[in-house]
Structure 1
Amino acid sequence: MTQTLKIDFVSDIACPWCAIGLSSLQLALERLGNTVDAQVAVHPFELNPDMEPGGEKIVDYLGKKYGRTPEQIAETQAMIRERGAQVGFEFGPRTSVYNTFDAHRLMHWAGIEGKQLELKLALLRAYHGEGKDPSDHAVLVEAARSVGLDATQAAAVLQNGDYAREVRAEERKYQHMGIQSVPSIIFNDRYLVTGGQPVEAFEQVVQQILAEAQQAQEAPHEAHEAPKQ
């Protein structure tokens, strides 16, 4: 029997663990096959909301924010590349970090057009795989075009500042819910999983949630059964 599962994936394009987490989640859902009908929606979170146009070098940014040395950053990036390879996501040369607010605005529009997840994946590949600037409107429009969205409409959304209010409202919503790091994945509005978990971990979580949902559905029916003589 196929069960419906609501998944809210709160993340930022600038986050490498979000690319790993989404790839891992998708593989877990593929393994589960017809047992689950997953409805995945992505939601905005900005790691670098105050980033200036043009971005900042990763070494400088992480050095100031976390006190990491260039050697430590290189080690972390090597580990991230390895983890990405395990779930089929190829990390390329990322040398800078950028503001992603316009990308989140475009993804909001893509959700209205029914292409939100596709655009999210395209933007993750553009930044983490190809080192492109996700604050560059040309990069965003090309990503939209690559997933079948209208490039002219995408450019207009970006140029006109569309959906800024909606994105800010969503960001506040999840901050008020206590989301402080990404990826944060919420299942059926009840269960929270954080981080770029392995495929097996996501698979186990989904199976447990489906089992509990099935038990909840069966319990009222069992309670109303006539007692056997």
Structure 2
Amino acid sequence: MTAGNDRTVLIELWSDLGCPWCYLGKHRLEAAIAQRPDAERFDVRLRSYELDPRAAAEPEPILDHLARKYGGPLEQVQTMEGRVQALATADGLPYVTERATANTLAVHRLQHYAAEQGLGTRLFGAVQDGYFAGTLNPFDTEQLVGAAASVGLDADAVRTVLAGDAYTDDVRADEEEGQALGATGVPFIVYGRRYATAGAQSVEGYAQVLAQTVADSAAGASAG
């Protein structure tokens, strides 16, 4: 890299655990970053955004939940889920339609604790990947503890976080900041506080925004 072009670029990704477009978008963003020769300069940080803060704590099958939410027959939501599954498969990602859904606040709170340990993005990625692959039920406390321990977090500390309401204010602050920046849903990504994208973009789409962000960052460094 040339002088002035090696500055770290902060990429902030507002996401929710159960959002399939967040799952696709995160992996496509990571693929776009990995294609770049300066991939190490990008600092991706997960930010919290609950799509349904009033969701019940008790898990229920996702297809039943969607049918009730949209007021359509089960066959309709099965078709909808099948389309997303096909997109995930095309991206090389596992995706099961027989999964549970519930309130995600506990996962967001835990992600903030993990971020303090430098493991926030790694934890959230592991939990979300396991969730959509059907290998992890994040609404089961001990399975969530196991996932946290697998990325290097202390299991007892994780249990303490999950048993209380620690980091709830941090989750709310993330949501308020995202909304102030223009987020009305997720995924919502902000690049170096210069640009933002809403919804899951293609790998090529993310690559274009990354290139523009880096170019503007270099131009700003030169001007300074």
Normalised TM-score (structure 1): 0.88
Partner residue of 1:226?
none
CA drift of 1:102 comes to 0.4
CA drift of 1:35 comes to 5.7
SS at match of 2:189: strand
Runs of 4+ displaced beyond 3 Å: none
Q: Do the aligned residues in 2 keep the contact of 1:84 with 1:90 (CA within 8 Å)? A: yes
Give 1:186's match in structure 2, choosing from 190, 194, 209. Answer: 190
CA drift of 1:185 comes to 0.4
User: Please, which moves more after superposition, 166-175 or 205-214?
Assistant: 166-175
Partner residue of 1:227?
none
Partner residue of 1:144?
148
CA drift of 1:109 comes to 0.3
Q: Do the aligned residues in 2 keep the contact of 1:101 with 1:135 (CA within 8 Å)? A: no
Structure-to-structure mapping, 1:164-183, within 5 angstroms: 164-183=168-187
Partner residue of 2:15?
11
Which has more radius of gyration? 1
Gaps of 5+ in 2: none
Q: Do the aligned residues in 2 keep the contact of 1:27 with 1:199 (CA within 8 Å)? A: yes
> How far apart are the structure 1 equivalents of 2:151 and 2:14?
21
Q: Do the aligned residues in 2 keep the contact of 1:7 with 1:185 (CA within 8 Å)? A: yes
| Equivalent residue pairs, number | 220
Could you give the per-residue CA deviations for residues 20-62 of structure 1, whole angstroms, max 9, x where no partner exists?
A: 0000000110001326611111111112211222223323322
Gaps of 5+ in 1: 221-229
Q: Do the aligned residues in 1 keep the contact of 2:16 with 2:49 (CA within 8 Å)? A: yes
Structure-to-structure mapping, 1:56-95, within 5 angstroms: 56-95=60-99
Partner residue of 2:101?
97
> How far apart are the structure 2 equivalents of 1:66 and 1:131?
27
SS at match of 1:32: coil
Q: Does 1:55 align with 2:59?
A: yes
SS at match of 2:43: strand
Partner residue of 1:212?
216
Percent identical:
33
CA drift of 1:88 comes to 3.2
Taking only aligned residues, the RMSD between alpha carbons, in angstroms, comes to: 1.9
